[in-house]
Amino acid sequence: MTALEETHNVLHGNKVAYGILVQLALEGNWNEIDHLATFYKEIGLPVSLADLGIDSNNPNLYSVYEKATVPEESIHALPITVGADSVQRAIEQIEEWNKRRPSQN
């Protein structure tokens, strides 16, 4: 998320919290996302791009996906192969998941 100027004032921990949801989506762990998002909401952590001040239609989002997957990033410690396209899909899935849960927003 640091690739986007509009997140420069967002606390690092908030970016990490959202990143954990993305990681869980990459792993297909939706039960844990449900559980964790409920907790996040209780304590005010972000569960969506909007919560981070990011428009989901931002044309610069692909730079986030690319930066997250450069060879030296820790995302490659996951037991799955991760590329920019898979990060994009995971974020899109999180955003769709949020839309299906109106009572949680």
Quote the tokens at residue 20. Answer: 């954990």
Least confident among 18-22, 39-43, 45-49, 60-64: 60-64
Give the pLDDT mean for 3-21.
88
Annotated domain spans of the chain: 5-104
How far is Cα 34 from Cα 51, in angstroms, rounded to an integer?
Answer: 17
Per-residue pLDDT band at 102 (split at 50, 70, 90): low
pLDDT in tens, 52-100: 999 988 888 888 888 888 888 878 878 788 888 999 999 999 999 998 8
Confidence at residue 105, expressed as pLDDT on a 0 to 100 scale:
43
Closest CA to 25 of 104, 86, 73: 86
How far is Cα 88 from Cα 95, in angstroms, rounded to an integer?
Answer: 11
Which CATH number is 5-104 given? Answer: 1.20.1090.10
Mean pLDDT score of the chain, rounded to an integer?
88
